[in-house]
Amino acid sequence: MALFHWQQRFLSGFQEIDEHHIHLVGLLNTAYDDFRDSVPRERLDALFLELIDYATYHFAAEERLMKESGYPAHEAHDQQHRQFATRVTEMHRDYLAGKPVFLEVLSFLKGWLESHIVKSDRDLATFLNTVTH
Ligand SMILES: [Fe+2]
């Protein structure tokens, strides 16, 4: 059973952002399934890094869109991304130190994404659609 059930309500309406979110949620669900299937630690290590890499790539894309469009709430939105990155980096450190935090990480990612997508990213998507169409 998937950790994160993707639903229509998570669509922001801006295609590039939605494609990234769908990919990110897919990675999250794969990580959850693999954890439950007790895959080797190396596999979880790789998935953790892939999640971090993809989130970093996605944030950079949103930051580029905000900059290019002159998004008024750019700074506040960036700050949410930075706080998220700081928290995930801390959790990754704990994970590498051998602490059993993998599920906690996935649950944090799920909760953060759900609330960030439906508010901050939707606001951004609405603005982008207004200025680019
Ligand atoms: Fe965002």
* 5-30 pLDDT, tens digit each: 999 999 999 999 999 999 999 999 99
| Helix, coil or strand: residue 105 | helix
Cα of 120 from ligand 1 centre, angstroms: 6
Mean pLDDT of 110-119: 96
Mean pLDDT of 21-49: 97
Q: Where are the domains of the chain?
A: 14-132
Which tokens sit at 117?
């997508």
Q: Residue 132 CB: number of other CB atoms within 10 A?
A: 10
Tell me: domain 14-132, CATH 1.20.120.50, correct? yes
Cα of 121 from ligand 1 centre, angstroms: 5
Give the pLDDT confidence score for residue 1 in this predicted structure.
75
Cα of 37 from ligand 1 centre, angstroms: 31
Cα of 29 from ligand 1 centre, angstroms: 19
The residue to which tokens 């998570």 are assigned: 10
Cα of 10 from ligand 1 centre, angstroms: 13
pTM flag (> 0.85):
yes
CA distance 8 to 101: 30
State the pLDDT confidence band at 133, using cuts at 50, 70 and 90. low
Cα of 62 from ligand 1 centre, angstroms: 6
Listing DSSP states for 3-62 in one string gives: SS---GGG--S-HHHHHHHHHHHHHHHHHHHHHHTT--HHHHHHHHHHHHHHHHHHHHHH
Mean pLDDT of 89-98: 97
Let me know: does 103 contact 91? Beta carbons within 8 Å: no
Cα of 98 from ligand 1 centre, angstroms: 30
Cα of 40 from ligand 1 centre, angstroms: 32
Query: Counting Cβ atoms within 10 Å, is residue 54 exposed (0-12), middle (13-18) or buried (19+)?
Result: middle
Cα of 39 from ligand 1 centre, angstroms: 31
Q: Does residue 132 carry a pLDDT above 90?
A: no
